[in-house]
A and B are shown apart, each in its own frame.
Chain A
Amino acid sequence: MLKTRIIPCLDVKDGRVVKGVRFEGLRDAGDPVEAAKVYDAAGADELCFLDITASREARGTLLDIVSRTAEACFMPLTVGGGVRTVEDVRALLLAGADKVAVNTAAVKDPDLVARAAEKFGAQCIVVAIDAKRVSGAGEPARWEIFTHGGRDSTGIDAVAFARLVAEKGAGELLVTSMDKDGTRSGYDLALTRAISDAVSVPVIASGGVGGLDDLVAGVAEGGASAVLAASIFHFGQATIAEAKAHMAAAGLAMRLDGPASSARTPL
Protein backbone atom coordinates (compact mmCIF):
# COMPACT_ATOMS: atom_id res chain seq x y z
CA MET A 1 0.00 0.00 0.00
CA LEU A 2 1.27 3.46 -0.91
CA LYS A 3 2.11 5.59 2.12
CA THR A 4 1.55 9.27 2.84
CA ARG A 5 4.84 11.13 2.54
CA ILE A 6 6.29 13.62 5.01
CA ILE A 7 8.58 16.12 3.32
CA PRO A 8 10.72 18.48 5.38
CA CYS A 9 11.45 21.58 3.34
CA LEU A 10 14.69 23.47 3.63
CA ASP A 11 14.45 27.04 2.45
CA VAL A 12 17.93 27.98 1.31
CA LYS A 13 19.51 31.38 0.91
CA ASP A 14 23.20 32.02 0.31
CA GLY A 15 23.94 28.36 0.94
CA ARG A 16 22.31 28.32 4.37
CA VAL A 17 18.98 27.00 5.63
CA VAL A 18 16.53 29.67 6.58
CA LYS A 19 12.85 29.82 7.34
CA GLY A 20 10.97 32.89 6.35
CA VAL A 21 7.98 34.14 8.24
CA ARG A 22 5.74 35.04 5.34
CA PHE A 23 9.04 35.08 3.44
CA GLU A 24 10.37 37.95 5.52
CA GLY A 25 12.49 38.03 8.69
CA LEU A 26 14.78 35.14 7.84
CA ARG A 27 16.31 32.91 10.55
CA ASP A 28 19.46 30.88 10.01
CA ALA A 29 19.06 27.19 10.78
CA GLY A 30 22.30 25.75 9.45
CA ASP A 31 24.03 23.92 6.67
CA PRO A 32 21.58 22.36 4.19
CA VAL A 33 23.68 19.26 3.54
CA GLU A 34 24.00 18.49 7.25
CA ALA A 35 20.29 19.13 7.74
CA ALA A 36 19.53 16.81 4.81
CA LYS A 37 21.63 14.03 6.36
CA VAL A 38 19.77 14.42 9.65
CA TYR A 39 16.41 14.15 7.89
CA ASP A 40 17.61 11.15 5.86
CA ALA A 41 18.65 9.38 9.04
CA ALA A 42 15.40 10.39 10.75
CA GLY A 43 13.30 8.61 8.11
CA ALA A 44 11.90 11.56 6.18
CA ASP A 45 10.17 10.27 3.05
CA GLU A 46 11.58 12.93 0.74
CA LEU A 47 13.48 16.17 1.03
CA CYS A 48 12.78 19.51 -0.57
CA PHE A 49 15.17 22.43 -1.12
CA LEU A 50 13.67 25.73 -2.14
CA ASP A 51 16.10 28.46 -3.09
CA ILE A 52 13.91 31.30 -1.94
CA THR A 53 16.13 34.07 -3.20
CA ALA A 54 16.44 32.77 -6.73
CA SER A 55 13.42 34.17 -8.47
CA ARG A 56 13.57 37.49 -6.63
CA GLU A 57 17.23 38.29 -7.02
CA ALA A 58 18.00 36.38 -10.22
CA ARG A 59 20.37 34.01 -8.47
CA GLY A 60 21.32 30.65 -9.84
CA THR A 61 20.34 27.59 -7.85
CA LEU A 62 22.61 25.83 -5.41
CA LEU A 63 23.99 23.08 -7.58
CA ASP A 64 26.86 22.32 -5.24
CA ILE A 65 24.57 21.80 -2.26
CA VAL A 66 22.30 19.60 -4.37
CA SER A 67 25.22 17.52 -5.56
CA ARG A 68 26.72 17.04 -2.08
CA THR A 69 23.29 16.12 -0.70
CA ALA A 70 22.62 13.59 -3.46
CA GLU A 71 25.93 11.91 -2.74
CA ALA A 72 25.13 11.45 0.94
CA CYS A 73 21.36 10.86 1.05
CA PHE A 74 19.75 7.91 -0.71
CA MET A 75 16.26 9.31 -0.75
CA PRO A 76 14.27 11.46 -3.18
CA LEU A 77 15.20 15.13 -3.40
CA THR A 78 13.10 17.92 -4.94
CA VAL A 79 14.75 21.25 -5.70
CA GLY A 80 13.09 24.49 -6.72
CA GLY A 81 13.68 28.21 -6.90
CA GLY A 82 14.64 30.31 -9.89
CA VAL A 83 14.04 27.56 -12.45
CA ARG A 84 13.30 29.32 -15.73
CA THR A 85 14.35 27.08 -18.60
CA VAL A 86 14.67 23.46 -19.66
CA GLU A 87 18.42 23.95 -19.22
CA ASP A 88 17.88 24.98 -15.58
CA VAL A 89 15.90 21.77 -15.06
CA ARG A 90 18.63 19.72 -16.70
CA ALA A 91 21.36 21.31 -14.55
CA LEU A 92 19.51 20.47 -11.33
CA LEU A 93 18.75 16.91 -12.41
CA LEU A 94 22.39 16.40 -13.37
CA ALA A 95 23.49 17.78 -10.00
CA GLY A 96 21.40 15.08 -8.32
CA ALA A 97 17.86 16.38 -7.88
CA ASP A 98 15.19 13.73 -8.50
CA LYS A 99 12.47 16.28 -9.10
CA VAL A 100 12.59 19.93 -10.02
CA ALA A 101 9.96 22.43 -8.91
CA VAL A 102 9.01 25.17 -11.35
CA ASN A 103 7.10 28.18 -10.09
CA THR A 104 7.13 31.65 -11.63
CA ALA A 105 8.40 30.46 -14.99
CA ALA A 106 5.48 28.02 -15.34
CA VAL A 107 3.05 30.85 -14.67
CA LYS A 108 4.65 32.98 -17.37
CA ASP A 109 4.98 30.08 -19.81
CA PRO A 110 2.96 26.92 -19.03
CA ASP A 111 4.49 25.26 -22.10
CA LEU A 112 7.80 25.14 -20.20
CA VAL A 113 6.17 22.36 -18.17
CA ALA A 114 5.35 20.46 -21.35
CA ARG A 115 8.85 20.89 -22.78
CA ALA A 116 10.53 19.79 -19.55
CA ALA A 117 8.18 16.83 -19.08
CA GLU A 118 8.75 15.63 -22.64
CA LYS A 119 12.50 15.89 -22.15
CA PHE A 120 12.91 14.42 -18.67
CA GLY A 121 9.59 12.70 -17.92
CA ALA A 122 6.55 13.97 -16.05
CA GLN A 123 7.73 12.18 -12.90
CA CYS A 124 10.46 14.74 -12.24
CA ILE A 125 8.53 17.94 -12.97
CA VAL A 126 6.79 19.49 -9.98
CA VAL A 127 4.85 22.70 -10.40
CA ALA A 128 4.88 24.88 -7.29
CA ILE A 129 1.65 26.81 -6.99
CA ASP A 130 1.64 29.77 -4.61
CA ALA A 131 -1.95 30.86 -4.09
CA LYS A 132 -3.84 33.45 -2.09
CA ARG A 133 -7.55 33.50 -1.38
CA VAL A 134 -9.15 36.38 -3.28
CA SER A 135 -12.84 35.72 -2.60
CA GLY A 136 -14.57 37.85 -0.01
CA ALA A 137 -16.60 36.64 2.97
CA GLY A 138 -19.76 34.88 1.85
CA GLU A 139 -18.51 34.37 -1.73
CA PRO A 140 -17.57 30.94 -3.11
CA ALA A 141 -13.90 30.31 -2.31
CA ARG A 142 -11.52 31.40 -5.04
CA TRP A 143 -7.73 31.59 -5.12
CA GLU A 144 -5.26 33.29 -7.43
CA ILE A 145 -1.66 32.53 -8.29
CA PHE A 146 0.96 34.82 -6.80
CA THR A 147 4.61 34.89 -7.83
CA HIS A 148 7.88 36.22 -6.46
CA GLY A 149 7.47 34.89 -2.94
CA GLY A 150 3.82 35.90 -2.77
CA ARG A 151 4.30 39.55 -3.68
CA ASP A 152 2.98 39.72 -7.22
CA SER A 153 -0.62 39.00 -8.17
CA THR A 154 -1.24 37.40 -11.57
CA GLY A 155 -5.04 37.28 -11.74
CA ILE A 156 -4.81 33.59 -12.70
CA ASP A 157 -7.25 31.23 -11.01
CA ALA A 158 -5.28 28.68 -8.97
CA VAL A 159 -7.52 25.68 -9.62
CA ALA A 160 -7.69 26.34 -13.37
CA PHE A 161 -3.92 26.75 -13.44
CA ALA A 162 -3.47 23.47 -11.56
CA ARG A 163 -5.57 21.68 -14.19
CA LEU A 164 -3.61 23.34 -16.99
CA VAL A 165 -0.13 22.40 -15.74
CA ALA A 166 -1.26 18.85 -14.91
CA GLU A 167 -2.41 18.53 -18.54
CA LYS A 168 0.90 19.98 -19.69
CA GLY A 169 2.73 17.17 -17.93
CA ALA A 170 3.45 18.15 -14.33
CA GLY A 171 3.96 14.95 -12.34
CA GLU A 172 3.10 16.53 -9.02
CA LEU A 173 1.83 19.83 -7.61
CA LEU A 174 3.25 21.59 -4.57
CA VAL A 175 0.42 23.78 -3.33
CA THR A 176 1.36 26.56 -0.92
CA SER A 177 -1.13 28.92 0.65
CA MET A 178 0.51 32.34 0.81
CA ASP A 179 -2.14 33.37 3.34
CA LYS A 180 -1.09 30.58 5.67
CA ASP A 181 2.65 30.35 5.07
CA GLY A 182 4.52 31.27 8.23
CA THR A 183 1.37 31.64 10.35
CA ARG A 184 1.48 28.21 12.02
CA SER A 185 -2.33 28.10 11.82
CA GLY A 186 -2.62 25.04 9.54
CA TYR A 187 -2.85 24.46 5.79
CA ASP A 188 -5.53 26.15 3.70
CA LEU A 189 -7.46 22.87 3.52
CA ALA A 190 -10.13 24.18 1.14
CA LEU A 191 -7.41 25.19 -1.33
CA THR A 192 -5.61 21.86 -1.01
CA ARG A 193 -8.87 19.96 -1.47
CA ALA A 194 -10.03 22.07 -4.43
CA ILE A 195 -6.79 21.39 -6.31
CA SER A 196 -6.47 17.76 -5.27
CA ASP A 197 -10.01 17.10 -6.52
CA ALA A 198 -9.29 18.92 -9.80
CA VAL A 199 -6.21 16.95 -10.91
CA SER A 200 -5.17 13.31 -11.22
CA VAL A 201 -1.55 13.89 -10.14
CA PRO A 202 -0.37 13.86 -6.51
CA VAL A 203 -0.66 17.08 -4.50
CA ILE A 204 1.72 18.16 -1.73
CA ALA A 205 0.11 20.38 0.93
CA SER A 206 2.29 23.28 2.04
CA GLY A 207 2.20 26.47 4.08
CA GLY A 208 1.11 27.05 7.64
CA VAL A 209 1.83 23.90 9.66
CA GLY A 210 1.78 24.68 13.37
CA GLY A 211 1.28 21.23 14.85
CA LEU A 212 0.97 17.55 14.01
CA ASP A 213 -2.81 17.66 13.66
CA ASP A 214 -2.30 20.01 10.72
CA LEU A 215 -0.37 17.27 8.91
CA VAL A 216 -3.24 14.83 9.46
CA ALA A 217 -5.78 17.38 8.20
CA GLY A 218 -3.74 18.05 5.05
CA VAL A 219 -4.32 14.43 4.01
CA ALA A 220 -7.65 13.57 5.62
CA GLU A 221 -9.41 16.84 4.73
CA GLY A 222 -7.17 18.36 2.07
CA GLY A 223 -6.78 15.16 0.05
CA ALA A 224 -3.00 15.61 -0.23
CA SER A 225 -0.69 12.68 -1.06
CA ALA A 226 2.18 14.28 0.84
CA VAL A 227 2.62 16.94 3.50
CA LEU A 228 5.40 19.48 3.56
CA ALA A 229 6.56 21.34 6.64
CA ALA A 230 9.57 23.30 7.78
CA SER A 231 9.61 25.12 11.12
CA ILE A 232 8.04 22.42 13.25
CA PHE A 233 10.85 20.09 12.20
CA HIS A 234 13.71 22.58 11.90
CA PHE A 235 13.24 24.01 15.36
CA GLY A 236 12.66 20.73 17.14
CA GLN A 237 8.97 21.06 17.92
CA ALA A 238 8.46 17.55 16.52
CA THR A 239 10.61 14.79 15.05
CA ILE A 240 9.80 12.99 11.83
CA ALA A 241 9.14 9.84 13.87
CA GLU A 242 6.69 11.66 16.14
CA ALA A 243 4.90 13.11 13.14
CA LYS A 244 4.61 9.68 11.53
CA ALA A 245 3.39 8.06 14.74
CA HIS A 246 0.81 10.80 15.14
CA MET A 247 -0.45 10.44 11.58
CA ALA A 248 -0.51 6.64 11.83
CA ALA A 249 -2.52 6.89 15.06
CA ALA A 250 -4.99 9.07 13.15
CA GLY A 251 -5.49 6.20 10.70
CA LEU A 252 -3.20 7.32 7.84
CA ALA A 253 -0.93 4.80 6.13
CA MET A 254 2.65 5.80 6.99
CA ARG A 255 6.08 4.33 6.30
CA LEU A 256 7.52 3.33 9.66
CA ASP A 257 10.76 1.66 8.51
CA GLY A 258 12.83 3.40 11.14
CA PRO A 259 16.34 4.81 10.71
CA ALA A 260 17.48 4.87 7.14
CA SER A 261 20.27 4.56 4.65
CA SER A 262 22.57 1.78 5.66
CA ALA A 263 23.07 -1.63 4.14
CA ARG A 264 24.63 -2.63 7.45
CA THR A 265 21.65 -1.71 9.61
CA PRO A 266 20.26 -4.99 10.95
CA LEU A 267 17.13 -5.71 8.99
Chain B
Amino acid sequence: MSTETVAIIDYGSGNLHSAAKAFERAARESGRDTRICLTSDPDVVAAADRLVLPGVGAYADCRRGLDAVPGMVEAMIQVAQVAGRPFLGICVGMQLLASRGLEYETTPGLGWIPGDVAPIQPSDPALKIPHMGWNTLRVARDHALLAGIPTGADGLHAYFVHSFALAAERPEDLVAQAEYGGSVTAMVARGNIAGTQFHPEKSQRLGLALIANFLNWRP
Protein backbone atom coordinates (compact mmCIF):
# COMPACT_ATOMS: atom_id res chain seq x y z
CA MET B 1 0.00 0.00 0.00
CA SER B 2 1.41 3.36 -0.94
CA THR B 3 1.77 6.15 1.57
CA GLU B 4 -1.40 8.16 2.10
CA THR B 5 -1.38 11.87 2.74
CA VAL B 6 -3.78 13.43 5.23
CA ALA B 7 -3.94 17.21 4.91
CA ILE B 8 -5.01 19.21 7.96
CA ILE B 9 -6.05 22.58 6.61
CA ASP B 10 -4.31 25.49 8.31
CA TYR B 11 -6.20 28.73 7.68
CA GLY B 12 -5.23 30.64 10.79
CA SER B 13 -7.88 29.16 13.03
CA GLY B 14 -5.52 28.57 15.92
CA ASN B 15 -3.01 25.99 17.01
CA LEU B 16 -3.09 22.80 14.96
CA HIS B 17 0.06 21.12 16.22
CA SER B 18 -1.76 19.07 18.82
CA ALA B 19 -4.29 18.00 16.17
CA ALA B 20 -1.46 16.97 13.87
CA LYS B 21 0.23 15.06 16.71
CA ALA B 22 -3.00 13.24 17.52
CA PHE B 23 -3.37 12.14 13.88
CA GLU B 24 0.29 11.08 13.76
CA ARG B 25 -0.12 9.04 16.90
CA ALA B 26 -3.34 7.37 15.72
CA ALA B 27 -1.64 6.52 12.41
CA ARG B 28 1.41 5.08 14.17
CA GLU B 29 -0.62 3.06 16.65
CA SER B 30 -2.83 1.59 13.96
CA GLY B 31 0.25 0.66 11.91
CA ARG B 32 -0.63 2.82 8.92
CA ASP B 33 1.80 4.32 6.46
CA THR B 34 0.28 7.79 6.56
CA ARG B 35 1.85 11.21 6.18
CA ILE B 36 0.14 13.92 8.21
CA CYS B 37 0.55 17.31 6.64
CA LEU B 38 -0.41 20.68 8.14
CA THR B 39 -0.91 22.94 5.17
CA SER B 40 -2.27 26.24 3.93
CA ASP B 41 -1.38 25.37 0.31
CA PRO B 42 -4.46 24.64 -1.87
CA ASP B 43 -2.32 22.48 -4.19
CA VAL B 44 -1.34 20.21 -1.29
CA VAL B 45 -4.98 20.10 -0.19
CA ALA B 46 -6.16 19.23 -3.72
CA ALA B 47 -3.70 16.31 -3.87
CA ALA B 48 -4.47 14.90 -0.41
CA ASP B 49 -5.98 11.46 0.08
CA ARG B 50 -7.91 12.61 3.14
CA LEU B 51 -8.82 16.09 4.41
CA VAL B 52 -9.34 17.46 7.88
CA LEU B 53 -10.89 20.89 8.45
CA PRO B 54 -10.38 22.03 12.04
CA GLY B 55 -11.84 25.25 13.39
CA VAL B 56 -11.78 27.18 16.63
CA GLY B 57 -13.36 30.53 17.33
CA ALA B 58 -16.21 32.45 15.81
CA TYR B 59 -18.02 31.12 12.74
CA ALA B 60 -17.69 34.26 10.62
CA ASP B 61 -13.99 34.58 11.51
CA CYS B 62 -13.33 31.00 10.44
CA ARG B 63 -15.24 31.47 7.18
CA ARG B 64 -13.28 34.65 6.43
CA GLY B 65 -10.02 32.82 7.21
CA LEU B 66 -10.92 30.05 4.78
CA ASP B 67 -11.90 32.53 2.05
CA ALA B 68 -8.71 34.52 2.62
CA VAL B 69 -6.61 31.67 1.20
CA PRO B 70 -6.99 31.94 -2.60
CA GLY B 71 -8.18 28.65 -4.09
CA MET B 72 -8.68 26.86 -0.75
CA VAL B 73 -12.44 26.38 -0.89
CA GLU B 74 -12.12 25.26 -4.54
CA ALA B 75 -9.43 22.73 -3.52
CA MET B 76 -11.68 21.40 -0.74
CA ILE B 77 -14.58 21.07 -3.20
CA GLN B 78 -12.27 19.22 -5.60
CA VAL B 79 -11.27 16.67 -2.94
CA ALA B 80 -14.54 16.27 -1.06
CA GLN B 81 -17.24 16.85 -3.67
CA VAL B 82 -15.65 15.92 -7.00
CA ALA B 83 -13.12 13.21 -6.07
CA GLY B 84 -15.18 11.99 -3.11
CA ARG B 85 -12.25 11.42 -0.77
CA PRO B 86 -12.75 11.20 3.02
CA PHE B 87 -13.32 14.57 4.70
CA LEU B 88 -13.59 15.32 8.41
CA GLY B 89 -14.65 18.66 9.89
CA ILE B 90 -13.95 19.31 13.58
CA CYS B 91 -15.85 21.76 15.82
CA VAL B 92 -16.30 24.98 13.80
CA GLY B 93 -14.79 23.02 10.89
CA MET B 94 -17.84 20.75 11.19
CA GLN B 95 -20.19 23.71 11.57
CA LEU B 96 -18.81 25.16 8.32
CA LEU B 97 -20.31 22.15 6.52
CA ALA B 98 -23.76 23.65 7.20
CA SER B 99 -25.72 26.05 4.96
CA ARG B 100 -25.14 29.01 7.25
CA GLY B 101 -23.99 30.13 10.67
CA LEU B 102 -26.03 32.48 12.84
CA GLU B 103 -23.28 33.50 15.29
CA TYR B 104 -23.12 37.35 15.61
CA GLU B 105 -24.11 37.66 11.93
CA THR B 106 -25.46 35.35 9.23
CA THR B 107 -22.56 33.72 7.41
CA PRO B 108 -22.82 31.28 4.50
CA GLY B 109 -21.30 27.85 5.13
CA LEU B 110 -20.17 25.27 2.59
CA GLY B 111 -23.69 23.84 2.36
CA TRP B 112 -22.56 20.20 2.21
CA ILE B 113 -24.71 19.24 5.21
CA PRO B 114 -27.80 21.45 4.83
CA GLY B 115 -28.90 23.14 8.04
CA ASP B 116 -28.25 26.11 10.30
CA VAL B 117 -25.74 26.61 13.10
CA ALA B 118 -27.70 28.27 15.91
CA PRO B 119 -27.25 28.92 19.66
CA ILE B 120 -27.69 25.97 22.00
CA GLN B 121 -30.78 26.55 24.14
CA PRO B 122 -30.95 24.02 26.98
CA SER B 123 -34.42 23.43 28.41
CA ASP B 124 -32.94 23.77 31.91
CA PRO B 125 -31.85 27.41 32.39
CA ALA B 126 -29.40 26.31 35.10
CA LEU B 127 -27.27 24.58 32.48
CA LYS B 128 -24.20 26.64 31.62
CA ILE B 129 -23.24 27.91 28.17
CA PRO B 130 -20.78 27.06 26.60
CA HIS B 131 -21.50 23.33 26.68
CA MET B 132 -18.02 22.63 27.98
CA GLY B 133 -16.55 19.33 29.04
CA TRP B 134 -16.98 15.60 28.64
CA ASN B 135 -20.23 14.12 27.41
CA THR B 136 -21.33 10.75 26.08
CA LEU B 137 -22.71 10.15 22.59
CA ARG B 138 -26.16 8.92 21.70
CA VAL B 139 -25.86 7.30 18.31
CA ALA B 140 -28.62 7.98 15.79
CA ARG B 141 -27.22 5.66 13.15
CA ASP B 142 -24.17 3.43 12.77
CA HIS B 143 -21.13 4.98 11.17
CA ALA B 144 -17.66 3.68 10.27
CA LEU B 145 -15.98 6.44 12.30
CA LEU B 146 -17.64 5.12 15.48
CA ALA B 147 -16.83 1.45 14.79
CA GLY B 148 -15.68 -0.35 17.94
CA ILE B 149 -16.17 2.69 20.16
CA PRO B 150 -18.47 2.17 23.14
CA THR B 151 -21.20 4.83 23.01
CA GLY B 152 -24.38 5.56 24.95
CA ALA B 153 -24.75 6.56 28.58
CA ASP B 154 -22.18 3.99 29.73
CA GLY B 155 -19.83 4.54 26.81
CA LEU B 156 -16.69 6.60 26.39
CA HIS B 157 -16.78 10.40 26.54
CA ALA B 158 -15.98 13.09 23.99
CA TYR B 159 -14.73 16.60 24.78
CA PHE B 160 -17.06 19.43 23.76
CA VAL B 161 -16.66 23.17 23.96
CA HIS B 162 -19.21 25.19 22.01
CA SER B 163 -22.15 27.56 22.33
CA PHE B 164 -23.65 26.92 18.86
CA ALA B 165 -24.75 23.69 17.23
CA LEU B 166 -25.63 22.43 13.78
CA ALA B 167 -29.23 21.40 13.20
CA ALA B 168 -29.15 19.17 10.12
CA GLU B 169 -32.16 19.51 7.82
CA ARG B 170 -31.98 15.92 6.61
CA PRO B 171 -32.48 13.46 9.49
CA GLU B 172 -30.24 10.92 7.76
CA ASP B 173 -27.25 13.30 8.04
CA LEU B 174 -27.36 13.06 11.84
CA VAL B 175 -25.01 10.40 13.27
CA ALA B 176 -24.83 11.18 16.99
CA GLN B 177 -26.12 13.60 19.60
CA ALA B 178 -25.17 14.63 23.11
CA GLU B 179 -27.71 15.25 25.85
CA TYR B 180 -27.55 18.78 27.28
CA GLY B 181 -30.96 20.02 28.28
CA GLY B 182 -32.17 18.55 25.01
CA SER B 183 -30.35 16.98 22.09
CA VAL B 184 -27.25 18.68 20.73
CA THR B 185 -25.76 17.54 17.42
CA ALA B 186 -22.46 15.78 18.11
CA MET B 187 -21.69 14.21 14.74
CA VAL B 188 -22.99 14.44 11.18
CA ALA B 189 -22.09 12.57 8.00
CA ARG B 190 -23.15 12.20 4.40
CA GLY B 191 -21.27 9.96 2.00
CA ASN B 192 -17.56 10.74 2.27
CA ILE B 193 -18.16 13.86 4.42
CA ALA B 194 -18.20 13.67 8.22
CA GLY B 195 -18.02 16.19 11.02
CA THR B 196 -17.72 16.11 14.80
CA GLN B 197 -18.79 18.94 17.08
CA PHE B 198 -16.49 17.50 19.77
CA HIS B 199 -12.72 17.55 19.54
CA PRO B 200 -11.32 14.08 18.75
CA GLU B 201 -7.80 15.44 19.23
CA LYS B 202 -8.73 16.32 22.83
CA SER B 203 -10.86 13.29 23.58
CA GLN B 204 -8.23 10.81 24.70
CA ARG B 205 -9.32 7.20 24.00
CA LEU B 206 -12.51 7.95 22.09
CA GLY B 207 -10.74 10.61 20.07
CA LEU B 208 -7.73 8.56 19.05
CA ALA B 209 -9.98 5.60 18.18
CA LEU B 210 -12.20 7.84 16.01
CA ILE B 211 -9.15 9.31 14.25
CA ALA B 212 -7.81 5.79 13.60
CA ASN B 213 -11.22 4.91 12.13
CA PHE B 214 -11.07 7.99 9.91
CA LEU B 215 -7.64 6.95 8.61
CA ASN B 216 -9.08 3.53 7.72
CA TRP B 217 -12.38 4.86 6.34
CA ARG B 218 -13.31 3.78 2.81
CA PRO B 219 -16.60 5.59 2.16
Give residues in A with beta carbon < 8 Å to B: 1-5, 40, 43, 45, 67, 70-72, 74-76, 93-98, 118-124, 171-172, 200-203, 225-226, 255, 257-265, 267
Which of B128, B130, B209 lies in contact with A263, CB distance below 8 A? B209
| Chain B residues positioned under 8 Å from A1 (CB to CB) | 135-136, 153, 179
Top 7 closest pairs, chain A to chain B, by CB: A263-B208, A260-B204, A121-B57, A70-B18, A263-B212, A263-B29, A202-B128
27 CB contacts below 8 A, A to B, read: A2-B131, A3-B133, A3-B157, A40-B204, A45-B134, A74-B201, A75-B204, A76-B161, A76-B199, A93-B14, A98-B161, A119-B57, A121-B57, A122-B130, A123-B56, A124-B14, A124-B56, A202-B132, A255-B134, A257-B206, A261-B208, A262-B208, A263-B25, A263-B209, A263-B212, A264-B29, A267-B148
Q: Are A70 and B148 in contact (CB under 8 A)?
A: no
| CB-CB nearest in chain B for A1 | B179
Which of B15, B132, B212 lies in contact with A70, CB distance below 8 A? B15
Interface string of B98-116 (1 = CB under 8 A from A): 0000000000000000000
Given the known interface contacts A3-B135, A121-B56, A263-B209, the answer about A201 and B17 at a Cβ–Cβ threshold of 8 Å is no
Q: Are A95 and B15 in contact (CB under 8 A)?
A: yes
Docked pose: A263 CA to B30 CA in angstroms: 7
Q: Are B58 and A265 in contact (CB under 8 A)?
A: no
Interface centre among A76, A93, A123, A201, by most chain B C-beta atoms within 10 angstroms, is: A123
Q: Are A255 and B157 in contact (CB under 8 A)?
A: yes
Docked pose: A96 CA to B178 CA in angstroms: 26
Given the known interface contacts A171-B132, A262-B208, the answer about A75 and B162 at a Cβ–Cβ threshold of 8 Å is no
Which of A4, A74, A93, A97 lies in contact with B207, CB distance below 8 A? A74
| Chain B residues positioned under 8 Å from A67 (CB to CB) | 17
Docked pose: A97 CA to B178 CA in angstroms: 25
Q: Are A226 and B15 in contact (CB under 8 A)?
A: no
Docked pose: A94 CA to B201 CA in angstroms: 15
Docked pose: A102 CA to B29 CA in angstroms: 37
Docked pose: A4 CA to B61 CA in angstroms: 31
| Chain B residues positioned under 8 Å from A260 (CB to CB) | 204-205
Q: Are A2 and B180 in contact (CB under 8 A)?
A: yes
Q: Are B204 and A74 in contact (CB under 8 A)?
A: yes
Q: Are B157 and A257 in contact (CB under 8 A)?
A: yes
Given the known interface contacts A74-B18, A75-B159, A76-B202, the answer about A267 and B26 at a Cβ–Cβ threshold of 8 Å is no
Q: Does B211 contact A (CB under 8 A)?
A: yes
Docked pose: A120 CA to B180 CA in angstroms: 24
Q: Does B73 contact A (CB under 8 A)?
A: no
Q: Are B130 and A171 in contact (CB under 8 A)?
A: yes
Q: Are A76 and B159 in contact (CB under 8 A)?
A: yes
Docked pose: A72 CA to B17 CA in angstroms: 11
Q: Are B204 and A2 in contact (CB under 8 A)?
A: no
Q: Are B159 and A70 in contact (CB under 8 A)?
A: no
Which of B132, B149, B178 lies in contact with A123, CB distance below 8 A? B132
| Chain B residues positioned under 8 Å from A267 (CB to CB) | 148-150, 156, 205, 209
| Chain A residues positioned under 8 Å from B196 (CB to CB) | none
Given the known interface contacts A67-B17, A95-B15, A120-B56, the answer about A201 and B129 at a Cβ–Cβ threshold of 8 Å is yes
Docked pose: A257 CA to B207 CA in angstroms: 12
Interface string of B10-23 (1 = CB under 8 A from A): 00001101100110
Docked pose: A255 CA to B57 CA in angstroms: 26
Q: Does B163 contact A (CB under 8 A)?
A: yes
Docked pose: A259 CA to B205 CA in angstroms: 8
Interface string of B173-206 (1 = CB under 8 A from A): 0000011100000000000000000010111111
| CB-CB nearest in chain B for A171 | B130
| CB-CB nearest in chain A for B20 | A71
Docked pose: A262 CA to B30 CA in angstroms: 10
Given the known interface contacts A71-B21, A201-B128, the answer about A257 and B209 at a Cβ–Cβ threshold of 8 Å is no
Docked pose: A124 CA to B56 CA in angstroms: 9
| Chain A residues positioned under 8 Å from B17 (CB to CB) | 67, 70-71, 96
Q: Are B129 and A200 in contact (CB under 8 A)?
A: yes
Q: Which of B119-157 contact A (CB under 8 A)?
A: 127-136, 148-150, 153, 156-157
| Chain A residues positioned under 8 Å from B18 (CB to CB) | 70-71, 74, 96
Q: Are B133 and A2 in contact (CB under 8 A)?
A: yes
| Chain A residues positioned under 8 Å from B132 (CB to CB) | 123, 171-172, 202, 225
| Chain B residues positioned under 8 Å from A40 (CB to CB) | 204
For residue A23, give the distance in angstroms from its CB to the closest CB of chain B: 27
Given the known interface contacts A257-B205, A263-B209, the answer about A201 and B130 at a Cβ–Cβ threshold of 8 Å is yes
